Structure 1
Amino acid sequence: MITTQDGLRKPTTLETIFYFSLSLFINAIGNGLTVAANMGSSMWTASAANIALDFNFSISWVLIFYGAIQILINIALIRRFDWPSILGNIIFISFFAPFVGLFKQFFLTLGISNLPLTVVIALDILGIVMIAIAISIYQRLNLILHPIDEMTNILRFQYFNSNANLAQWVNFSVPAIVILILGLIYQQVVAVNIGTAFALLFQGTLINSADRFIFPRLKHRL
Structure 2
Amino acid sequence: MEEQGSEVVLIGFWASTYCHRVELALNIKGIPYEFVEEDLSNKSDLLIQYNPVHKKVPVLVHKGKAIAESLVILEYIDDCWDNTPKLLPQDPHERAKIRFWANFYDQKVLLPSTYPIIYSEGEEREKTMAEFRELLRMFEEGIKKDFPTRKPFFNGEDLGFLDVTVAANSCMYRAFEEALALDYELNNYPAFLSWLNALKGCPVVKETLPPHDKLVAIIRKMFLKQT
TM range (shorter): 0.3 to 0.5
Q: Radius of gyration: which is bigger?
A: 2
The structure where helix makes up a greater share of residues is 1
**More relative contact order in 1 or in 2 (CA 8 Å, sep 6+)?**
1
Scaled by the length of structure 2, the TM-score of the pair is 0.32
TM-score for both structures, normalised by structure 1: 0.33
| Bigger strand share | 2
